[in-house]
């Protein structure tokens, strides 16, 4: 059989258990069928340290050049990791570095299989959460107040003009917080959301609390509305999808009653909280995929989970592990499908579909990694090691 040819994508290798799974996926599930064409960046922690983290920057720039990347989970160093890997510095998170270069929004989507039912009975299709990962309470300034006094909000423009408002006249101790966001960042967020909705042909919901936050949240609402009307309305109508704004509390109620199958765009804090709720209700972190979409149309695919350190240490001890490779497989299929879409390479897109189907067929036949066994509601489930599971998918592919 002749291998499928493909345009170039950026491949970013990573750390620990996911690095091991990465190689298995390439060897067993990709290379036998596709003439893999990747520009390889080793974001494993030792190589980041060797290059003074230049490799993370280079990888981000490469995604700008080729528009599609696939990334393995990587360690974000903390004090313990600095010691463990004898690092020159506590390097920043590669995800943060790449996000800063691409200026994107992260979309998280669960992979559904029949046999594992979401906790919410009405959910039939995945719900994708788009989280604005900039500003708000994550970049706030705050302090405690210990005695009575007046708290004010003051803005001094570069040309010396002052704007001032009383926040509260404190008659006792309390707390204060100031936070911000930028029009440029909100605009990028909106573009990424509209583009991703078009590219996946799903409705887009956006929710804030603009009835209470009449300037702050209202700004988000108005920017989304303006960009939609001016730049995306026609394309949405043509694609038969809808943009829909509602209050966050109304959105929560509608989400629970819904069948799923849409994108829910959230402000930073809402997205943080709601993505944990939605992913837990759908099942397992190991079944959650993630894609960073930049406003100018670059895509970086990865698993939502980390490097699964606990399993890696067991692996180093010679134990067989049962780490779930699904989210990492789907990161690859996401990237290959996008490459195919951008190049009009239908064979490559069909391959991505087949690999996803083969992976899910194995689970639906009752063979799965240990993390899923407890969630399984079908007939008897068989727990496989990572290697056995990947081999089973390979056998399914060969069929």
The residues binding ligand NAP (CB under 6 A) are: 73-76, 95, 285-286, 302, 305-310, 323-324, 371
Please, which residue, 203 or 272, has the CB nearer to Mg ion? 272
Residue-wise burial string across 61-80, b where 16 or more C-beta atoms lie within 10 A, e elsewhere: ebbeebbbbbbbbbbbbeee
- DSSP structural state of residue 34: B
- Contact criterion met (CB below 8 Å) for 112 and 125: yes
Please, which residue, 272 or 387, has the CB nearer to Mg ion? 272
Please, which residue, 286 or 293, has the CB nearer to ligand NAP? 286
Picked from ligand NAP, Mg ion, none, the partner binding residue 219 (CB below 5 to 8 A depending on kind) is none
DSSP string, 374-395: TT--SS--EE--HHHHHHHHHH
CB of 332 vs ligand NAP, minimal distance in Å: 14
Please, which residue, 308 or 349, has the CB nearer to ligand NAP? 308
Q: Which two structure tokens, joined as six digits, stand for 89?
A: 């510095």
Phi, psi of 164 (to 5 degrees): -145, 140
CB of 248 vs Mg ion, minimal distance in Å: 17
Picked from Mg ion, ligand NAP, none, the partner binding residue 272 (CB below 5 to 8 A depending on kind) is Mg ion
CB of 310 vs Mg ion, minimal distance in Å: 19
Three-state secondary structure call for residue 7:
coil
Q: Where are the alpha helices (DSSP H) in 169-232?
A: 183-200, 216-227
- Give the CA dihedral 374, 380, 385, 388, nearest 10 degrees: -150
CB of 55 vs ligand NAP, minimal distance in Å: 14
CB of 92 vs ligand NAP, minimal distance in Å: 11
Picked from Mg ion, ligand NAP, none, the partner binding residue 333 (CB below 5 to 8 A depending on kind) is none
Listed in sequence order, the residues at least 6 apart from 73 whose beta carbon sits closer than 8 Å to its beta carbon are 14, 15, 16, 18, 302, 303, 305, 306, 307, 308, 328
Q: How many residues are present in the chain?
A: 399
Q: Tell me which residues touch Mg ion (CB under 5 A).
A: 272
By beta-carbon distance, which residue lies closest to ligand NAP? 306
Please, which residue, 239 or 281, has the CB nearer to ligand NAP? 281
Please, which residue, 130 or 197, has the CB nearer to ligand NAP? 130
d(CA 244, CA 193): 12
Picked from Mg ion, ligand NAP, none, the partner binding residue 329 (CB below 5 to 8 A depending on kind) is none
Picked from ligand NAP, Mg ion, none, the partner binding residue 75 (CB below 5 to 8 A depending on kind) is ligand NAP
CB of 38 vs ligand NAP, minimal distance in Å: 18
């Amino acid at each position: 059989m002749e291998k499928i040819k493909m345009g170039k994508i950026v491949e970013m290798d990573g750390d620990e258990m996911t690095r091991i799974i990465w190689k298995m996926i390439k060897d067993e599930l990709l290379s036998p069928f596709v003439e893999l064409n990747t520009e390889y960046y080793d974001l494993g922690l030792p190589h980041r340290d060797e290059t003074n983290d230049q490799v993370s920057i280079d990888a981000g720039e490469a995604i700008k050049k080729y528009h599609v990347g696939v990334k393995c989970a990587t360690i974000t160093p903390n004090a313990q990791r600095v010691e463990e890997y004898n690092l020159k510095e506590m390097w920043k998170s590669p995800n943060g570095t790449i996000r800063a270069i691409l200026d994107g929004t992260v979309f998280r989507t669960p992979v559904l299989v029949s046999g594992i039912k979401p906790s919410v009975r009405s959910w039939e299709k995945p719900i994708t959460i788009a989280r604005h990962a900039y500003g708000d309470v994550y970049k706030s300034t705050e302090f405690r107040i210990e005695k009575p006094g007046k708290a004010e909000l003051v803005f001094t423009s570069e040309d010396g003009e002052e704007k001032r408002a009383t926040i509260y006249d404190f008659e006792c101790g309390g707390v204060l917080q100031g936070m911000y966001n930028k029009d440029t960042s909100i605009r990028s967020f909106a573009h990424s959301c509209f583009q991703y909705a078009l590219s996946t042909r799903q409705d887009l919901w956006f929710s804030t609390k603009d009835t209470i936050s009449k300037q702050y949240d209202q700004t988000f609402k108005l920017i989304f509305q303006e960009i939609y009307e001016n730049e995306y309305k026609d394309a949405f109508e043509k694609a038969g999808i809808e943009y829909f704004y509602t209050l966050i509390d109304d959105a929560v109620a509608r989400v629970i009653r819904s069948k799923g199958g849409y994108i829910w765009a959230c402000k930073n804090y809402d997205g943080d909280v709601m993505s944990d709720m939605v992913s837990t209700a759908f099942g397992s972190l190991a079944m959650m995929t993630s894609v960073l979409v930049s406003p100018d149309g670059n895509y970086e695919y990865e698993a939502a989970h980390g490097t699964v350190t606990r399993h890696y240490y067991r692996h180093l001890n010679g134990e067989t592990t049962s780490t779930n490779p699904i989210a990492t497989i789907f990161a690859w299929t996401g990237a290959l499908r996008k490459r195919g879409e951008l190049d009009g390479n239908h064979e490559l897109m069909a391959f991505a579909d087949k690999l996803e189907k083969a992976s899910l067929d194995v689970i639906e036949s009752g063979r799965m990694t240990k993390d899923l066994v407890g969630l399984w509601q079908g007939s008897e489930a068989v727990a496989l090691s990572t290697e056995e599971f990947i081999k089973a998918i390979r056998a399914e592919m060969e069929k």
